[in-house]
Structure 1
């Protein structure tokens, strides 16, 4: 296994000394980074070109994985296009341990949004109360990210809210980690249910009955926001992907929650969708 990945997982595991089975936790540990950029999609759905932000800051293996996969992607549009479309994109690059000698690096998730949207085409925050750090997690020194899915009504209020996934940047026993994930999720949901939003005032989705939004909420002991340097790997223990009872559109269960940049809102009913697998190497 590459030395940089071994070191990263060792740092992660030094955070909380409470695991019952170190080897089992090591097998589940992951490292990832979130990369941003743009992609130009031709009317037929093929990739015309793409650009990665601050490519000089990225490890060569990440550039290689992107180069091997992005040009072969195919997209589908909600409506027929007469011209190429430029979209912002965010990619979650993930490194997983296979065994002591091997690891894999791949694109695990992606989100896209058409650029140059007019003001008012998507929802935006009106009020946003910060979550209170929950006591159990505070006492345990637990940090992590809660990926929320919200349903926003036409009055700008949150009608439904759920935690799609909670990734911890510390480890403990499975039982303790489940409790910590629930603790962080409850705190994030309690705050999110008080948020209010400006709803779209123009565009294709202005008359929708509601809007779905994916939003990450970060918890860290020092500053209520996990520091994420662009181009650096972050180690964590991934939580399970939770099913959401009130989400009726089954195809949305496959939406990637963890490809959303911090402090941003991803409105799920975007018109540009990837139609081919993300793949990896």
Structure 2
């Protein structure tokens, strides 16, 4: 357990319409930090080495947590022609600070995502229509991130789309939170259904009938003329949404990892065989 200043969460708590009361709201609000890097896994599934991007920007409590947990991770061995081999992959980690009492917060690694993308072996954007920020969400100052799962067919168009999770940067009653999740999800889904994609040109999935990918869509209100700085390594308050089932996914392995551990921007194909972590990521 870590002792954190209450100001960590004041961004959400101040000025919010607290239908459930302050005590209930404190249990729901979290602060997160999304980190990226690379990892090398030995043939037996143990961690050989790892690198965290911009580690100099991170507080010691974070680097200490990573150093304590990552070397002890265990992965399913990566096979090549039936034999285990070493594997290198990009990774993203979501760290979360949760309130557990008066001015006390536990910090842990809540989600991980690993990739092994090779140029030409996965789908890429051809034409990406920018989602429209719902006017009612703008008026209500609602921000958040929608994590989509898409199925893309051989014509390069979206065949199926689902909002797997919606995290909000706001606090309200459960009913209101659910309503705003649907508002942002519907906007993201409407845009995604108009997207087109370039198909793989090489690799073992080039002949697939369809491809599945995760895509984060972020809605973030800023003042006119405001320039976004580098907020890497900073805590950001949010309320996590429930993770929804994707009914048309037959292989649950495709949805391994955490949807909200994905960094903003880009597309994250799920067939390319990312590493599978088989031990808990660690922390509280």
- Scaled by the length of structure 2, what TM-score is found? 0.91
**Residue aligning to 2:3:** 2
CA distance in 1, matches of 2:230, 2:212: 26
Residue 122 of structure 2 contacts residue 272 of structure 2 at CA under 8 Å; is this kept in 1? no
Deviates more, 1:227-236 or 1:62-71: 227-236
**Residue aligning to 1:267:** 269
Q: Would the alpha carbon gap of residues 239 and 132 (structure 1) be closer, same or farther in structure 2, given more than 3 Å must change?
A: same
What is the CA distance between 1:18 and its match in structure 2? Answer: 4.8
What is the CA distance between 1:51 and its match in structure 2? Answer: 0.9
Residue 219 of structure 1 contacts residue 226 of structure 1 at CA under 8 Å; is this kept in 2? no
CA distance in 2, matches of 1:227, 1:270: 32
Paired residue for 1:231, among 224, 227, 233?
233
**Residue aligning to 1:154:** 154
Within 5 Å, which residues of 2 pair with 1:36-115? 36-76=36-76, 77=78, 79=80, 80-81=82-83, 83-114=85-116
CA distance in 2, matches of 1:248, 1:15: 44
CA distance in 2, matches of 1:234, 1:139: 22
Deviation digits for residues 155-202 of structure 1 (CA, Å, limit 9, x no counterpart): 111111111111111112221111111100000000011111111111
**Residue aligning to 1:279:** 282
CA distance in 1, matches of 2:189, 2:65: 35
Q: Would the alpha carbon gap of residues 154 and 246 (structure 1) be closer, same or farther in structure 2, given more than 3 Å must change?
A: same
Residue 15 of structure 1 contacts residue 170 of structure 1 at CA under 8 Å; is this kept in 2? no
What is the CA distance between 1:111 and its match in structure 2? Answer: 1.1
Deviates more, 1:20-29 or 1:250-259: 250-259
- Scaled by the length of structure 1, what TM-score is found? 0.92
Structure 2 gap segments, 5+ residues each = none
Within 5 Å, which residues of 2 pair with 1:17-36? 17-36=17-36
Structure 1 gap segments, 5+ residues each = none
